């Protein structure tokens, strides 16, 4: 897989754009600058890889916009060694960014062909998170608790099971709203009984399906 001078140049420009949009964490910007996003695209579509936009990856799903990936990642305040659950593996791009920050990533995908495809592809890029197939709207209880949980699909409400599966001091970042747009919500679990909830800008994600998501 080629990563040429030109690709690296386009990536640098993308990092500048994301920084201008408000991402300040040097570690997050470095991770975006490091991962070869064009490897997630067909050769004919490489020009799209370094634009700050979401892109279809088949199965009616998308690789999230780089700014969105950076925004969610920054809000998670990843420390090296954090055990992180990602709900919605998709292309695997978000998982690679988390791994660049030193996270131990558990990622779950509900779309079987996408799960199979990404599980095969990501190790070829040198990234081996722990892959799971299933309904991540209920989290992944078998491996809980987690230091951080990131949901990369739009939820109608915050699934209580996800808060349960967080360590004390843990952070959940999840887009919550209707099927068109969602507010980014950050939940910090301060104790078993107390959470702190913060809401940020609107984003637009594909829907979170499953028991705690949208019923289809």
Task: Write out the residues near ligand SAM by the rule CB under 6 A.
Answer: 61-64, 87-88, 90-91, 93-94, 108-111, 114, 135-137, 152-153, 205-206, 208-210, 213
Sort strands 182-189 and 166-177 into parallel, antiparallel or unpaired.
antiparallel
We find the least distance from the C-beta atom of residue 133 to ligand SAM, in angstroms, to be: 9
We find the least distance from the C-beta atom of residue 204 to ligand SAM, in angstroms, to be: 10
User: Among residues 90 and 129, whose Cβ is nearest to ligand SAM?
Assistant: 90
Active-site annotation holds for 204: no
User: Among residues 72 and 190, whose Cβ is nearest to ligand SAM?
Assistant: 72
H or E element at residue 164: helix 160-164
Sort strands 195-203 and 182-189 into parallel, antiparallel or unpaired.
antiparallel
We find the least distance from the C-beta atom of residue 5 to ligand SAM, in angstroms, to be: 25
Listed in sequence order, the DSSP H helices in 4-81 are 5-20, 26-34, 46-49, 66-76
DSSP state of 195: E
The active-site residue out of 64, 91, 137, 204 is 64
- Cβ atoms 96, 73 nearer than 8 A: no
Q: Which residues are catalytic?
A: 64
């Amino acid at each position: 897989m080629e990563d040429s001078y030109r690709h690296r140049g386009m990536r640098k420009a993308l990092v500048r754009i994301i920084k201008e949009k408000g991402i300040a964490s040097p570690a997050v910007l470095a991770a975006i600058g490091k991962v070869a996003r064009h490897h997630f695209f067909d050769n004919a579509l490489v020009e799209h890889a370094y634009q700050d936009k979401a892109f279809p990856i088949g199965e009616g799903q998308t690789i999230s916009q780089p700014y969105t990936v950076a925004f969610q990642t920054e809000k998670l305040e990843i420390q090296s060694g954090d055990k992180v659950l990602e709900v919605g593996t998709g292309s695997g791009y978000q998982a690679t960014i988390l791994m660049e920050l030193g996270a131990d990533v558990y990622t779950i995908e509900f779309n079987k062909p996408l799960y199979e495809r990404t599980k095969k592809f990501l190790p070829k890029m040198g990234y081996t998170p722990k892959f799971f197939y299933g309904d991540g709207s209920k989290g992944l209880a078998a491996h809980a608790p987690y230091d951080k949980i990131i949901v990369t699909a739009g939820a109608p409400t915050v699934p209580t099971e996800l808060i349960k599966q967080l360590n004390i001091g843990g952070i959940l970042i999840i887009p919550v709203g209707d099927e068109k747009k969602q507010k980014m919500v950050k939940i910090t679990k301060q104790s078993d009984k107390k959470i702190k909830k913060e809401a940020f800008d609107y984003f637009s994600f594909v829907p979170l399906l499953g028991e705690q998501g949208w019923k289809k």
